[in-house]
Structure 1
Amino acid sequence: MGLLGRLFGGVLLCAASLGLTGAAWGADGASHGDQGVTHMPDVTFTLRTSIAGGKLVFIGERGAITDQVNPDLRVPEGAVVQINLINDDGATHDIAVPDFNAHSDHISGKGAATAIVFRASKNGTFEYLCTLPGHKAAGMVGKLIVGEPSKEVKVQAPQIAHDPSQVGTPVGKRGPQKITVDLLTTEIEGRLGDNSTYRFWTFNNKVPGPFIRVRVGDDVTINVTNPKDSTHIHSIDLHAVTGPGGGADVTQVPPGQTKSFSFKAQHPGLFVYHCATPMVAQHITNGMYGMILVEPEGGLSKVDHEFYVMQGELYTAQVHGASGLQEFSLEKLLAENPEHVMFNGSMDALTKVYSMESSVGDTVRIFFGVGGPNLTSSFHVIGEVFDRVYNQASLTSKPLTDVQTTLVPPGGATMVEFKTDFPGQYVLVDHALSRVEKGVAGFLTVKGKADPAIFHSDEPMEMHGH
């Protein structure tokens, strides 16, 4: 079964329905249990139907349960659980967890797929099974263990994800200055997820690289150092630079050397920078991208919170969810078929590693860019409307107002601003929503008193996450 057939669009959930599309899905898509389900599952498992040892069975797909027969599925109490099922033997099947009132539709034919989503609201050991007559007796039954931690060992590796709150100091009303920026290119095995790592190439050991903040008229010196233990040449191309290769023509730095150049910041705006050493796309996907903000004279208007978020892709030989060190796949890069799509470098950078918080009545500014190297992002915050969008990151043009979703191409950026009017957990996504299954999501948590004039429901509101 091809990779796209394994993408499950059900990670963005609402309590009433789950919208799933594509020929691989059954007629009803998925079924929720009777407990409340909010936006994102805490735990996702993928199973496929098969025949093993003369029995009908479920086989684990991805992560710690890969290739296990009827694997034990371990989840914390209270977790929102999504179980995806792929038909891999061609017979008619379904999946259910009766104790949580979760039942999928029937799927027939090899390659068909479905899912169930429910909240594991009580401790204990429960069955997941196929409800077709005779299939449980034939072997299609496993254990869902609620309240017992996973036995999967978390990796110990450097944290390469960039803290979104690290945005530098606003320039304010200062005059032009001489600014020096020191960048260290590194090649390190860093944490991709709880059970996986990747050999990232970075600026200053973070993905994205540092948020560079200057103003129009500044004279900026860039020093790029490539340590002697590197195995590749690295460089930098800043889209804010007027000059040969944006600086790349003079910063092809061999291991053990430093190269420098200076430029005048002539154009206000939010600009991407990236390594521009062949193969450029490989250097970018491995993590060598970031942004530089050139503030206009007088600086930007004051807001309560600023965040730095960039979207990128990884093309790995192993499938999404695999454990251990993930290896780069040139074939998938050239096919533009990433296994991972992330905000700020890792699978959970903005859902677990770092938090973005605001209070009711506060103003938020997000500097958003796409390192790529290939995918255009449909940037959206679920439950919010952007009050202002500085389209294409132009800070001298009149901003768009009242915008739901904004397109940002690879190597492009935008700046969005909005007031947080209501408490809750708001999810940052690329609205090409199957990519959420590949990791691209973030949480903005808003605290404070709810105003029923803005939003009201007699249904209980739940916040969950990491």
Structure 2
Amino acid sequence: MTHGNAPVGDVSDVSAAEVDLSGYERVKQELVAPPFAPKHEQVATGKPKIVEIDFTIQEKKIKIDPDGTEIVALTFNGSVPGPMIVVHEGDYVDLTLTNPATNVMEHNIDLHAATGALGGAGITTLLPGEQAQLRFKATKVGTFIYHCAPEGSMTPYHVTHGMNGVIMVLPREGLKDEKGNQLSYDKLYYVVEQDYYVPRDENGNFKSYNFAGEDFSEWVDVMRGLIPSHVVFNGAVGSLTGEKAMTANVGETVLFVHSQANRDTRPHLIGGHGDYVWEEGAFANPPMKDLETWFVRGGSAGAALYTFKQPGVYVYLNHNLIEAVELGAAAHVVVDGKWDNSLMEQVYHGPVRK
């Protein structure tokens, strides 16, 4: 995107005073694969820090459903979604983005938590074999998406090939309820809903490709129809079921962070609720309470706290049931513990009684 003779977001010709960072401690965040979050403090101790993040862009083949449908995914650090970043308000994020020479496409990163330069996209655009370092201050608290954002059709193309994730900026004093009381969680799960637009051949079978960008024109044609071929959690159908299901115990409080970089979604936990929900991800606002289903806007991330009260297998899904059942937007949470008959009890099951 350009305006006049300069790229939108370009700050190369802007002079500014150098920032004094001498009083900041530098810490390296050890990123982990989704659905998990890196180790972090819920309530910050000490002064704001400079949190170092390393992202390497990988263009790689992945399977996205049990039938073996394969795409050349575009990824941050090799996973769809990219790793979750967790910092606190007032911290600096010092992010190094590497586009290896073995890749074939141009990439960058737009972080919705950042201020200016298209969220960083305006100053991180990289050809294969290039690297950029971006530093920004986390001034807004909440859950925010990040994604690749090249020009024109390349932006939705990259996003719908998996190139998105979440950065969570916690208040330094931690999460609070509507009365200002402390809220905390025992576990955090990070669920990203991904829409794919895989082209089909003349026989109706999904096509496969050998390298990133080879499918561009056909993928864009499908994409413009606004009907995804797949809507999945964390990159593939069944990625959070079976042995890969999320887990909890009765009495544990879980924070579910849910994002969709492109389309609206409606997370729902069958058999549970959203005790406290930040639908818009804005932790500075009081959470909503006791929701059955919450709404996450396309291009955003939301968060919901729930304390499990019964054991069993819970289905966590997009309550557009067509997308959940037919296209793949569903996960499981396996909860261990003792059943509480005061909450639910099977009184009778058998032939019709006369």
- TM-score, normalising length: structure 1: 0.61
Paired position in structure 2 for 1:238: 111
CA distance in 1, matches of 2:69, 2:33: 17
The equivalences for 1:138-177 within 5 A come to 162-174=33-45, 175-177=47-49
Whose radius of gyration is greater, 1 or 2?
A: 1
Q: 1:312 to 1:459 in 2, by over 3 A?
A: farther
Q: 1:182 to 1:171 in 2, by over 3 A?
A: farther
CA distance in 2, matches of 1:440, 1:315: 14
Give 2:208's aligned amino acid: L
Q: 1:429 to 1:168 in 2, by over 3 A?
A: same
* Structure 2 residue 288 is the aligned partner of structure 1 residue 405: no
CA positional deviation for 1:196: 2.6
CA distance in 2, matches of 1:226, 1:361: 44
The share of aligned pairs that are identical, in percent, is 32
CA positional deviation for 1:391: 2.6
Compare relative contact order (CA 8 Å, sep 6+) and give the higher one, 1 or 2: 2
CA distance in 2, matches of 1:303, 1:262: 29
Give the 4+ runs in structure 1 shifted more than 4 A.
321-324
Could you tell me which of 150, 153, 159 is aligned with 1:284? Answer: 159
Q: Once the two structures are superposed, what CA deviation does each residue of 1:248-293 show, in whole Å capped at 9, x if it has no partner?
A: 0001110000012211111111100000113100000000000001
* Structure 2 residue 185 is the aligned partner of structure 1 residue 296: no
Q: Once the two structures are superposed, what CA deviation does each residue of 1:193-247 show, in whole Å capped at 9, x if it has no partner?
A: 3323211000000011010011111122111100101111000000000111000
Paired position in structure 2 for 1:376: 264
Q: Which runs of 5+ in 2 are unaligned?
A: 1-31, 176-182, 210-214, 350-354
CA positional deviation for 1:458: 4.1
CA distance in 1, matches of 2:103, 2:64: 20
Paired position in structure 1 for 2:142: 269
CA distance in 1, matches of 2:38, 2:223: 30
Give 1:447's aligned amino acid: D
CA distance in 1, matches of 2:242, 2:117: 40
CA positional deviation for 1:459: 5.8
User: Does the aligned pair in 2 maintain the 1:250–1:260 contact within 8 Å?
Assistant: no
Could you tell me which of 241, 246, 261 is aligned with 1:351? Answer: 241
The equivalences for 1:183-222 within 5 A come to 183-194=55-66, 195-222=68-95
Paired position in structure 1 for 2:199: 317
User: Does the aligned pair in 1 maintain the 2:276–2:288 contact within 8 Å?
Assistant: yes
Q: State which drifts further: 222-231 or 352-361.
A: 352-361
CA distance in 1, matches of 2:165, 2:348: 42
User: Does the aligned pair in 2 maintain the 1:170–1:213 contact within 8 Å?
Assistant: no
Aligned residue-pair number: 297
User: Does the aligned pair in 1 maintain the 2:199–2:207 contact within 8 Å?
Assistant: no
Could you tell me which of 188, 202, 213 is aligned with 1:306? Answer: 188
Q: Which runs of 5+ in 1 are unaligned?
A: 1-160, 461-466
Paired position in structure 1 for 2:257: 367
* Structure 2 residue 318 is the aligned partner of structure 1 residue 445: no
CA distance in 2, matches of 1:196, 1:352: 20
Q: 1:439 to 1:163 in 2, by over 3 A?
A: same
Give 1:287's aligned amino acid: G
CA distance in 2, matches of 1:380, 1:322: 31
SS at match of 2:240: helix
Paired position in structure 2 for 1:421: 309
Cα RMSD over matched residues? 2.0
Paired position in structure 1 for 2:321: 433
Could you tell me which of 126, 139, 142 is aligned with 1:253? Answer: 126
User: Does the aligned pair in 1 maintain the 2:247–2:335 contact within 8 Å?
Assistant: yes
Q: 1:245 to 1:359 in 2, by over 3 A?
A: same
CA distance in 2, matches of 1:398, 1:424: 31
The equivalences for 1:4-43 within 5 A come to none
Give 2:338's aligned amino acid: K
SS at match of 2:192: strand
User: Does the aligned pair in 2 maintain the 1:167–1:306 contact within 8 Å?
Assistant: no
The equivalences for 1:40-189 within 5 A come to 162-174=33-45, 175-189=47-61
User: Does the aligned pair in 1 maintain the 2:58–2:103 contact within 8 Å?
Assistant: yes
- TM-score, normalising length: structure 2: 0.80
Paired position in structure 1 for 2:8: none
CA distance in 2, matches of 1:201, 1:459: 52
Q: Once the two structures are superposed, what CA deviation does each residue of 1:103-139 show, in whole Å capped at 9, x if it has no partner?
A: xxxxxxxxxxxxxxxxxxxxxxxxxxxxxxxxxxxxx
